Amino acid sequence: MKNSTVLRKPEWLRMKIRGGDNLNYVQEILQKNHLNTVCEEANCPNRMECFSNRTATFIILGSRCTRNCTFCDIATGHPDAVDPEEPLHVAEAVKSLGLTYVVITSVTRDDLPDGGSEHFARVLRSIHKSSPGADIEVLIPDFKGDTKALQTVIDAGPVIINHNIETVPRLYREVRPQAVYRRSLELLEKVKKLSGLYSKSGMMVGLGETYDEVIASLHDLRSVDCDFLTIGQYLAPSKKHHPVIEYIHPDIFAKYKEEALKMGFKGVASGPLVRSSYKAHEMLRG
């Protein structure tokens, strides 16, 4: 669904620029270790606040994705070579920043036989070795439904496995043409069957979905025993991306949270500026 009209951003989405004493320090650590963050690659609206609080979501396996989702600002095209030193560099950054909660995500690497799962595991093992007290959340791609790849990540010891369904099934062909809604639900279901670990998922709204479609997707997530949920406003990275069809009012986000908690989610973050890893440690630790 396309909309040629550019909507004016409402007041509740107009953010003040936030900085802080730690901002430059975080950026220096990332540059020193040649690391990417989803904060910058995906142009996250909260990145200044997170960097100022010495937090960041590390994105591994390069900065180019093999899929072409129309909502995403991460570059697509020929993927980067996998850096064998990346696990060590991520671990050094985590230790230097003194992080006790770490989020690791990646671009989708359909070009790799295991989807990059073993590299995920190496990164986690390296962090566990250098920062044994740190909890690690992983935000993983669907690995094309490969159970062995998922098990590889599980065995590396994360505390939460996150996989975003992103939107309602009706919009997948337009928004996530190389993904499969049912496959994403099955991956979340496998997390429970294989491990019993906490599972988490997230959605964007404002892409053209209806309220009832969102509620139906939340029921789908609960049907596979998903524990934690994030819902945020979609913001188009550029005019070339899927347009914003609607800016969702904060009251609707509050209703989504209320309904989700009634369904049995253990934790819900729902608001215009919520992103899948924003203040992730607070959700787990209550």
- What CATH code is carried by the domain that includes residue 144? 3.20.20.70
Decide if 155 is inside a domain: yes
Decide if 2 is inside a domain: no
Q: Between the CA atoms of 274, 233, 180 and 164, what dihedral angle is there, to the nearest 10 degrees? A: 0
Decide if 261 is inside a domain: yes
Decide if 5 is inside a domain: no
Domains: count for the chain: 1
Distance CA 124, CA 137 (A): 9
Decide if 3 is inside a domain: no
pLDDT more than 70, % of the chain: 82
Structural domain boundaries, residue 67: 11-285
Say yes or no to pLDDT of 266 above 60: yes
Distance CA 182, CA 160 (A): 21
Short-list 163, 155, 159, CA closest to 122: 155
Helices and strands, counts by H and E, the chain? 11, 10
Q: Could you tell me if 154 and 137 are in contact, meaning their C-beta atoms sit under 8 angstroms apart?
A: no
Say yes or no to pLDDT of 72 above 90: no
The per-residue DSSP string of 42-84 comes to TT-TTHHHHHHTT--EEEES-SEESS--TT--SEESSPPPP-T
Decide if 150 is inside a domain: yes
Identify the residue with better confidence: 2 or 67.
67
Distance CA 267, CA 160 (A): 12
Q: What is the pLDDT of residue 60?
A: 94
Highest mean pLDDT: which range of 11-15, 18-22, 161-165: 161-165
Say yes or no to pLDDT of 252 above 50: yes
Angle between helices 181-194 and 147-155 (to 10 degrees): 50
Q: What is the pLDDT of residue 75?
A: 81
The residue to which tokens 């006790």 are assigned: 100
Q: What is the pLDDT of residue 132?
A: 95
Angle between helices 23-32 and 86-97 (to 10 degrees): 160
Q: What is the pLDDT of residue 177?
A: 92
Tell me which H or E stretch contains 136: strand 135-139
Angular region, 76: left φ>0, alpha ψ -120 to 50, beta rest:
beta
Q: What is the mean pLDDT of the chain?
A: 87
Which DSSP symbol is given to 200?
E
In the sheet where 135-139 sits, what is the strand order? 36-37, 57-60, 101-106, 135-139, 160-162, 198-205, 228-233, 267-270
Decide if 145 is inside a domain: yes
Angular region, 70: left φ>0, alpha ψ -120 to 50, beta rest:
alpha
- pLDDT category, 1, cuts 50, 70, 90? very low
The residue to which tokens 């030193």 are assigned: 85
Decide if 232 is inside a domain: yes
